Amino acid sequence: MRLTLTINIINTTMKNKKNILISSKDSELSELLYECLSDFNVKYLDLSKIDVNSHESYNEIFKGVNIYIHLCHGGFNHSDTMKMIDYHTRITYDILFAAGKENVDKVFAISTLDLFKNLESNLTVTENWELNYPASEIDLLCANLAENVCKEFARDKVFEVINLRLGNIQKKDKSYLSKTELKNKFLKLVNFDNDEFEKAKAAQNEQFVSARKKGPNWINLHLQDSFEGQKYLTSKIKSLLDPEVKI
């Protein structure tokens, strides 16, 4: 009797946890995000088990998924440039289309602050900045392309997309992002439900609206550690998650 009750409690707890799907496996970033989300039901999207020419095949993997995390950068990698572009455009579109069909609540597009690495150091980069990249910088080009695909779904109000551009998690430079800071902020974002997001966004008024692009369901946020001489401003994510703290 006691064992049955314990099992039922465990099953109920698991059912109440958010089901999260991460787009890529076997990269440092995907493994780090997986570790951050240890309190949730987390799975990886395995493209090897999907017929990329079948929408039904994509739809099946999103059944029961609440949150989808798409790595625009730091996930899928290939030596073939055309395969890189194909994944970050056509395949990304098909994945997100299936997510919409299965009524996924929220999508995180995980991108990179390296999109702005070549800008002069005296420029103040905000969440509104966007750049186009030549094919010679394939990783950044693909990150930019994948962001734009995600943005189209947000613009069409299929689901809310939080476009989270991350600092450098590999070395301590001026855009360094520690694992502790990533876990802390990312968990807060994941735990925000839609009503909480609406309240937080309303509380920010024009300050928060200025960080939004092309429709109410697209939000750009920048994240790196805070220290003297840091390269990028992160006031928007701080004021969103801690609205009572004055930046």
Q: What is the CATH number of the domain that holds 50?
A: 3.40.50.720
Evaluate whether residue 8 is within a structural domain: no
Q: pLDDT (tens digit, 0 to 9) for every residue of the chain, 247 residues total?
A: 555 444 444 444 445 689 999 999 889 999 999 999 999 999 999 888 888 777 778 888 999 999 999 999 999 999 999 999 999 999 999 999 999 999 998 999 999 999 998 888 778 788 878 777 767 889 999 999 999 999 999 988 899 899 999 999 988 889 999 999 999 999 999 987 656 666 655 555 444 443 344 445 888 999 999 998 888 989 889 888 876 655 4
pLDDT at residue number 245 = 53
Considering the domain boundaries, does residue 220 fall inside one?
yes
**pLDDT value at position 239?**
82
Distance CA(239)–CA(80), nearest Å, equals 41
Please report the pLDDT score of residue 200 as a whole number. Answer: 58
DSSP state of 18: P
55, two tokens: 């929408």
Do the domain assignments include residue 9? Answer: no
Structural domain contains residue 97: yes
Backbone phi, then psi, for 5, in 5-degree steps? Answer: -65, -45
Give a yes or no: residue 205 inside a domain: yes
Nearest to 69 by CA among 90, 112, 99: 99
Q: How many domains does the chain have?
A: 1
Q: Given the structure tokens 């299936």, which residue do they identify? A: 98
69, part of any domain:
yes
Which residues, listed in sequence order, are joined to residue 220 by a DSSP beta bridge? 163
* Full residue range of the structural domain in which residue 197 is found: 20-241
CB 19 within 8 Å of CB 66 = yes
- Is 107 in contact with 162 (CB distance < 8 Å)? yes
Q: Which pLDDT value is given to residue 201?
A: 56
Q: Give me the pLDDT at residue 211, please.
A: 39
With CA atoms as reference, report the closest residue to 219 among 232, 200, 243. 200
